[in-house]
Amino acid sequence: MSNYENLSIDNQEGIVLLTINRPKALNALNGLTLKELDQAFSEDLKNDEQVKAVIITGAGDKSFVAGADIKEFLHIPAGEGGQFAKRGHDIFFAIENFPKPVIAAVNGYALGGGCELAMACHIRVASSKAKFGQPEVNLGILPGYGGTQRLTKLVGRGRAMELILTGDMIDAAEAYRIGLANQVTEPGEEVAKAREIATKIIKKAPLAIAESIKAINACETEGANGYDTECEAFGMLTASADFQEGAAAFIEKRKANFKGV
- Check if the beta carbon of residue 235 is closer than 8 Å to that of residue 207: no
- Residue 151: closest CA among 185, 118, 183: 118
5 assigned to active site: no
136 is catalytic: yes
For 41, list phi and psi in degrees, rounded to 5: -85, -25
SS3 106: strand
Using DSSP, state whether 181 is helix, strand or coil.
coil
User: Which is catalytic among the residues 36, 96, 136, 190?
Assistant: 136
Q: How far is CA 228 from CA 93, 215, 223, in A?
A: 21, 9, 12
Active site residue: 116, 196, 220, 232, which one?
116
> Within the chain, how many helices (H) and strands (E) appear?
12, 10
The angle at the Cα of 131, spanning 126 to 136, to the nearest 5 degrees, equals 130
| CB neighbourhood size of 65 (10 A) | 29
Angle at 253 (CA atoms; ends 197, 239), nearest 5 degrees: 75
* Sheet of 183-185, strands arranged across: 7-12, 15-20, 53-58, 102-106, 123-127, 183-185
Rg, C-alpha atoms of the chain: 19
Catalytic residue positions, numbered: 116, 136
